């Protein structure tokens, strides 16, 4: 497991070390040589809002043979222009590296500042610190004093690494604009084979050539790009790095000392076999494994499984794990300690809970397998390439006849077949030695339905009752909130009726709170003083007292990144209002319907008068499509405009006597 953890850690921390290069020679210059126009620049012409710009970021990765074998050398030369005081944080440079057992060493670091008048100041060693982040990772930290608007910071460094399996990652795009970025990769093509993973929007140019280094024929590949805009967070996206222009390199094969070509990883089957034999993964859930024997003994004593079906056993096992081990909010797929350690401590990572659940299912003679995946915020996966550093968590696949269920013990309020939100990244890999396959899956629908029967008085007061029901992630949320010391009436007020501080809620009845196979239901009575506005002979009342979306979450007129809503949803609000004596219905919202293309979603509102003294308003919202390309964004924004507009509707009553 050591190799797998090394690769994962190396990838994670080096995402923080950023780089770049370019194609136009006038966009880059040597160390300390600052073009006058860059020194005089007061605003970046391609983004006037930018508080800083990376003028050039030039890097190289060289795999070379030395006295201690092959090593990878990473060099970077970055230059940053500061426009505003808010960008002075660029003067706090952090360079993480893998310090465990001296796997990596920062062998050269030089930092200097060029002031607007052209004066240069080298950063002294007193302002350079080494900090241990954890037992595997350290960081060189540089503090640059006396920064001014208009300054240019430049630094260069070299990192030597004995890990040639996963080379340094490189990003061509950052949180601030990048004017020019370049990376050169050099290694002996006769000795090594690397898989190249380039996340590209078509703006990265590639140039290849060869050169001789002693007796070795070296392949050179130069990647360049220029004028990349700042990459910024937007609502409802996957990991920001999924959309970043970057490149990474994974060793796939090499020539050994005998001249025989060897593969680093054979295939997914070989990887599944290696994982199953690893004590920190497969050793946690194998039959009769000591790593989970205490958990099994405790579960077996409390369960009579002789007559239970597979799903009943799975339900019991899921509830047993979630009630005995609390998730510590960490995602892992391996364990440095055991499942039983987590059971004893009553807390553990996603790996501890889900490998513990898997062990119970396997010991119960059920057909179950581990499924490795990457959480949404960890980023996308690469099904073509069998390496483990793309994963950061694990769930469980249960097969019962011709049906399959995904299980997840990280949340105690979800039902069989549901997952924690971050696990809904679209797919996962079943680490089964006999049949290692990728499976696709989507999130379950969020569903809530409101049925209301209200009496509206001539003073604007509303009394009545509601029956509300939720399923999917909505039910998970409600169950979690209700399983606290907070009274149910307080939960309802805080969750749904904050706009009515004087509301009174009583007679709350909860159904199926612990029956996870069914939707959760709440029935309650309400009294809302001054719910409606009374103006002369008119009463104005918004019957949608609970708004699914009080405002449109998509405020920007345009969008650069795709939208990922994760959950489809269905929300119905149906309310019947009794009209006070002496009033008639003067005006109602017009029946409207908004639809997305290809049945991707619909929003509708209808108002009717079932009897002369009652009005019924029906709002139905449904979103089936969850992923939207930037060109589909205007339609999605219009969809949510309609949804929020319906939440702000009103009926008008007029006094007749």
Question: Beta-strand (E) ranges in 432-472?
Answer: 437-440, 446-456, 462-471
Rounded distance, CA 502 to CA 494, Å? 12
Rounded distance, CA 97 to CA 204, Å? 26
Q: 538-541 and 437-440 as β-strands: parallel, antiparallel, unpaired?
A: unpaired
Please count the other Cβ atoms lying within 10 Å of the Cβ belonging to residue 310. 20
Same domain flag for 343 and 320: yes
| Whole-number pLDDT of residue 24 | 46
353-393 pLDDT, tens digit each: 999 999 999 999 999 999 999 999 999 999 988 988 899 99
Per DSSP, 306 falls in state: S
| Whole-number pLDDT of residue 20 | 36
| Whole-number pLDDT of residue 652 | 96
Same domain flag for 372 and 479: no
Same domain flag for 132 and 164: yes
| Whole-number pLDDT of residue 247 | 96
Q: DSSP alpha helices (H): ranges in 207-347?
A: 268-277, 293-302, 310-324, 339-345
Of 81, 350, 60, nearest to 220 (Cα)? 60
Same domain flag for 181 and 90: yes
Residues (pLDDT < 70) of the chain are: 1-25, 302-305
DSSP string, 14-28: HTTS-----S-GGG-
User: Hey, what's the torsion of the CAs at 543, 548, 551, 552, to 10 degrees?
Assistant: -130
| Whole-number pLDDT of residue 258 | 87
Please give the model's pTM, rounded to 2 decimal places: 0.88
Boundary of a domain, candidates 204, 229, 261: 261
Domain count of the chain? 3
Q: 178-188 and 52-66 as β-strands: parallel, antiparallel, unpaired?
A: parallel
Same domain flag for 295 and 252: no
Same domain flag for 306 and 433: yes
Same domain flag for 295 and 247: no
Rounded distance, CA 513 to CA 475, Å? 9
Boundary of a domain, candidates 221, 241, 261: 261
Same domain flag for 154 and 299: no
Question: What residues does 450 pair with on adjacent strands?
Answer: 468, 573
Same domain flag for 102 and 44: yes
CATH number of the domain residue 375 falls in: 3.10.620.30
Please count the other Cβ atoms lying within 10 Å of the Cβ belonging to residue 613. 14
Alpha-carbon distances, residue 292 vs 83, 281, 343 (angstroms): 57, 12, 9
Same domain flag for 190 and 56: yes
Domain range spanning residue 122? 2-261
Same domain flag for 488 and 596: yes
Q: What would the two tokens of residue 101 be? A: 């057992």
Do you know the residue count of the chain? Answer: 657
Boundary of a domain, candidates 239, 261, 283: 261
Q: Are 55 and 38 in contact (CB under 8 A)?
A: yes
Q: Whole-angstrom distance between the N-terminal and C-terminal Cα of the chain? A: 83
151-199 pLDDT, tens digit each: 999 999 999 999 999 999 999 999 999 999 999 999 999 999 999 999 9
CATH number of the domain residue 96 falls in: 2.60.40.3140
Of 399, 568, 392, 397, nearest to 473 (Cα)? 568
CA triplet 499, 503, 504: central angle to 5 degrees? 155
Same domain flag for 475 and 416: no
Q: Are 85 and 149 in contact (CB under 8 A)?
A: yes
Q: What would the two tokens of residue 151 be? A: 């300054």
CATH number of the domain residue 632 falls in: 2.60.120.1130
């Amino acid at each position: 497991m050591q190799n797998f953890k090394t690769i994962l850690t190396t990838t994670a921390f080096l995402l923080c070390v950023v780089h770049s290069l370019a194609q136009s020679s006038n966009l880059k210059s040597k160390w300390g040589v600052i073009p006058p126009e860059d020194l005089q620049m007061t605003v970046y012409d391609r983004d006037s809002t930018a508080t800083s710009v990376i003028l050039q970021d030039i890097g190289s990765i060289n795999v070379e043979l030395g006295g201690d074998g092959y090593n990878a050398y990473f060099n970077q030369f970055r230059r940053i222009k500061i426009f505003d005081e808010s960008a002075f944080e660029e003067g706090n440079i952090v360079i993480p590296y893998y310090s465990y057992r001296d796997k990596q060493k920062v062998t050269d670091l030089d930092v200097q500042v060029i002031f607007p008048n052209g004066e240069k100041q080298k950063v002294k060693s007193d302002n350079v610190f080494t900090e241990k982040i954890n037992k595997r990772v350290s960081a060189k930290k540089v503090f640059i004093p006396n920064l001014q608007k208009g300054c240019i910071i430049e630094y260069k460094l070299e990192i030597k690494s004995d890990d040639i399996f996963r080379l340094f990652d490189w990003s061509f795009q950052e949180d601030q604009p990048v004017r020019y970025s370049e990376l050169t990769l050099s290694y002996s093509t006769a000795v090594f084979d690397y898989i190249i993973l380039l996340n590209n929007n078509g703006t990265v140019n590639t140039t290849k050539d060869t050169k001789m280094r002693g007796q070795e024929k070296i392949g050179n590949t130069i990647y360049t790009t220029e004028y990349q805009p700042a990459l910024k967070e937007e609502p409802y996206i996957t990991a920001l790095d999924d959309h970043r222009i970057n490149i990474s390199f994974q060793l796939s094969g090499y020539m050994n000392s005998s001249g025989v070509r060897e593969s680093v990883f054979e295939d997914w089957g070989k990887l599944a076999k290696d994982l199953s034999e690893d004590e920190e993964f497969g050793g946690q859930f194998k039959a009769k494994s000591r790593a989970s024997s205490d958990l099994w003994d405790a579960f077996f004593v409390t369960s009579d499984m002789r007559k239970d079906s597979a799903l009943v056993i799975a339900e019991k096992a899921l509830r047993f794990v979630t009630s005995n081990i609390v998730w510590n909010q960490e995602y892992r797929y391996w364990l440095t300690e055991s499942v039983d350690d987590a059971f004893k401590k009553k807390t553990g990572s996603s790996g501890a809970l889900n490998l513990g659940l898997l062990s119970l299912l396997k010991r119960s003679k059920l057909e179950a397998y581990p499924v490795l995946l990457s959480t949404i915020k960890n980023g996308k996966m690469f099904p073509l390439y069998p390496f483990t550093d793309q994963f950061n968590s694990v769930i469980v696949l249960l097969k019962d006849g011709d049906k399959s269920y995904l299980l997840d013990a990280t949340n105690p309020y979800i039902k069989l077949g549901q997952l924690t939100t971050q696990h809904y990244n679209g797919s996962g890999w079943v680490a089964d030695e006999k049949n290692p396959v990728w499976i696709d899956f989507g999130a379950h629908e969020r569903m809530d339905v409101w049925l209301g029967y209200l009496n509206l008085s001539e003073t604007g007061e509303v009394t009545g009752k509601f029956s509300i029901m939720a399923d999917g992630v909505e039910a998970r949320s409600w169950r979690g909130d209700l399983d606290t010391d907070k009274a149910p009436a307080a939960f309802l007020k805080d969750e749904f009726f904050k706009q009515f501080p004087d509301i009174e809620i009583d007679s709350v009845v909860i159904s199926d709170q612990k029956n996870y196979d069914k939707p959760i239901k709440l029935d309650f009575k309400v009294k809302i003083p001054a719910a409606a506005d009374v103006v002369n002979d008119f009463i104005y009342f918004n019957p949608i007292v609970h708004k699914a979306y009080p405002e449109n979450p998509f405020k920007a007129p345009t969008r650069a990144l795709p939208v990922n809503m994760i959950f489809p949803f269905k929300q119905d609000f149906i309310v019947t209002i009794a009209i006070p004596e002496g009033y008639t219905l003067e005006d109602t919202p017009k029946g409207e319907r908004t639809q997305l293309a290809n049945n991707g979603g619909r929003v509708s509102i209808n108002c009717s008068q079932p009897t002369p003294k009652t009005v019924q308003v029906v709002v139905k919202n449904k979103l089936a499509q969850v992923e939207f390309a930037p060109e589909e964004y205007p339609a999605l924004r219009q969809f949510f405009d309609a949804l929020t507009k319906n939440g702000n509707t009103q009926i008008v009553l007029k006094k007749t006597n």
